[in-house]
Structure 1
Amino acid sequence: MEPNDSSPPDTQALLRATKLLDHDDPSIARLIESRGWRSLPQLARVGAAYEFVRNDIQFGYNARDEIPASRVLADGYGQCNTKSTLFMALLRALQVPCRLHGFTIDKRLQRGAIPGWAYPLTPSRILHSWVEAWVDGRWIELEGFILDQPYLIAVQKRFPAARAFCGYGVATKNLQQPSVEWCGRSTYIQREGIAEDFGLFNDPDAFFATRGANLPPVKQWLFEHFVRFQMNKRVAAIRGGRVGRYAADETTLDSPR
């Protein structure tokens, strides 16, 4: 699926730095210079940034969604919203206009990726986003960077017969062949888990200002200081093939709807 909106963007608004899209931070400038991305054609620049965010930034849970791109880069891991922030900052630093599309996803998508005891604490609908980049006169929807390749391969190996699948951070019609590889077209890995569509935002700052956060203050404190570390341990164990199955994780994982 490609966006129907083919009108040229407001380039100035979709290239500017914001509090979260801090692409003027020295760490982001150093990364881009060290990789030589500025010398690439536009489509290749998008692909290089996409592959970096997809695989060099591992799938994992940051302290909160509303952290700047430079913090995500320093953490070295992220989930849908934080990886989107970093990817947008890289695109804007590379002079590629981009915007954010905001959603919620069904919590079933998280089943298996987080410890069983933490699953009941998860909101029934979770804020979600993907990035839309303006390339060669068209919008491309990019979501397939959320899961790093080693993690996704580990999930595929756990469920070799699965096709339509919802769980472990995945919601796709074909687990074995999801549309995540960069090829100049839209990519997705959690689209089939979308519950609500909140529309387009110029930046993640506007999205979170409008839609708030996933957790109330007390749960956010617990998540930031305790729960997310246990979640990240489980994600790392899944990636390394060190987690056995248990019933609470495997329920309804074969259907994204």
Structure 2
Amino acid sequence: MSHDYLSETPLLDHENPAIQELIAQRGWAALSESERIGAAYDFVRNEVLFGYNSDDSLPASQVLADGYGQCNTKGTLLMALLRALGIPCRFRGFTIDKGLQRGVVPELVYPLAPRNIIHSWVEVQHRGEWLELEGFILDQGVLTALQAAFPDRNSLCAYGAGTDCLQAPNVAWSGKSTYIQKTGINRDFGVFDSPDAFYADHRQLTRFRGLVYRLIIRHWMNRRVARLRAGRVPTIPGGENNLVPAKSISMQKEAE
């Protein structure tokens, strides 16, 4: 099977004028390979805020226009920027336990959320190896608020975070893999050339539930994220038991 990790696709629309203009304005094309990866990564991590778009399968140019995104949509934008900068990259698909979204999904509708939620990260080819990039999902404002709210915790699986090192997570680009939701992962779909290839077979929140999500629930979630970013972290029913990583929850159930 041949792979093309640099081509444009309908979702990775890196020839879009807005994406090309961003790259030109920032002068990213003149940077070294590591600096190009870091510039695109830092932009997506902090200048594209953590939030919920209307759909996972949005073109990168639409995510850029929205100015916010979550794992899947921010990943699409990062991939488009990397390919536009001549950096080979690919898509890795997963699901995460919905417990990772506790505190962001309103409690009124949390029981209706799918048990397993579509998740992804970006794999980038750098210096002869594939690195896993996931640490771009939460912007620094959200991460700082969580660190302040849970100063004595390192393991957290809620509020959009899934990490065993909350106070010092590996989220900054330094030429190595980065993570912020890894401990919530409960299924691995493998590697895909593009998000287009993944979403052709894996979709979520379609039909009526998808409509309700797009028109009502995601806006509710985005308001909760904005309050979280401002330091008003909502309380989760069940307390400490609902803040442990999803894998630990599964292990506990098996032990019972």
Q: TM-score range by the shorter chain?
A: over 0.9
Tell whether 2:64 aligns with 1:79: no
Q: Secondary structure at the match of 2:214?
A: helix
Are the aligned partners of 1:173 and 1:256 in contact in 2 as well (CA < 8 Å)? no
Distance 1:254 1:174 in 2: 12
Alignment counterpart, residue 164 of structure 1, candidates 140, 155, 161: 155
1:249 positional shift? 6.9
Tell whether 2:99 aligns with 1:108: yes
What is the match of residue 231 of structure 1?
221
2:164 counterpart letter in structure 1: K
Identity across matched positions, percent: 53
Distance 2:150 2:43 in 1: 26
Using the size of structure 2 for normalisation, the TM-score is: 0.93
1:15-164 alignment, distance < 5 Å: 15-164=6-155
2:5 counterpart letter in structure 1: L
1:244 positional shift? 4.3
1:133 counterpart letter in structure 2: V
Distance 2:239 2:201 in 1: 33
1:247 positional shift? 2.3
Name the count of aligned residue pairs.
Answer: 247
1:80 positional shift? 0.3
Distance 2:167 2:108 in 1: 28
Describe the shift of the 1:170–1:246 C-alpha distance in structure 2 as closer, same or farther (beyond 3 A).
Answer: closer
Structure 1, residues 44-80: CA drift from partner, whole Å, max 9, x if none? 1000000000000000000010100000000000000
Q: Secondary structure at the match of 1:210?
A: coil
Distance 2:7 2:234 in 1: 46
Alignment counterpart, residue 194 of structure 1, candidates 172, 179, 185: 185
| Runs ≥4 residues deviating over 3 A | 248-251
Describe the shift of the 1:15–1:244 C-alpha distance in structure 2 as closer, same or farther (beyond 3 A).
Answer: closer
Tell whether 2:214 aligns with 1:219: no
Structure 1, residues 99-130: CA drift from partner, whole Å, max 9, x if none? 00100000000001222112112110011100
Distance 1:33 1:216 in 2: 37
Distance 2:240 2:227 in 1: 16
Describe the shift of the 1:205–1:21 C-alpha distance in structure 2 as closer, same or farther (beyond 3 A).
Answer: same
Q: Secondary structure at the match of 2:200?
A: helix
Distance 1:47 1:218 in 2: 39
Q: Secondary structure at the match of 1:236?
A: helix
Are the aligned partners of 1:112 and 1:250 in contact in 2 as well (CA < 8 Å)? no
Unaligned 5+ residue runs, structure 2? 248-256
Are the aligned partners of 1:100 and 1:201 in contact in 2 as well (CA < 8 Å)? yes
Alignment counterpart, residue 174 of structure 1, candidates 160, 165, 177: 165
Using the size of structure 1 for normalisation, the TM-score is: 0.92
1:231 counterpart letter in structure 2: M
Unaligned 5+ residue runs, structure 1? 1-8
1:91 positional shift? 0.2
2:112 counterpart letter in structure 1: L
Describe the shift of the 1:251–1:112 C-alpha distance in structure 2 as closer, same or farther (beyond 3 A).
Answer: farther
Distance 1:209 1:247 in 2: 36
Structure 1, residues 127-175: CA drift from partner, whole Å, max 9, x if none? 1100001111111110000000011110111111111111001111111
Distance 2:82 2:239 in 1: 36
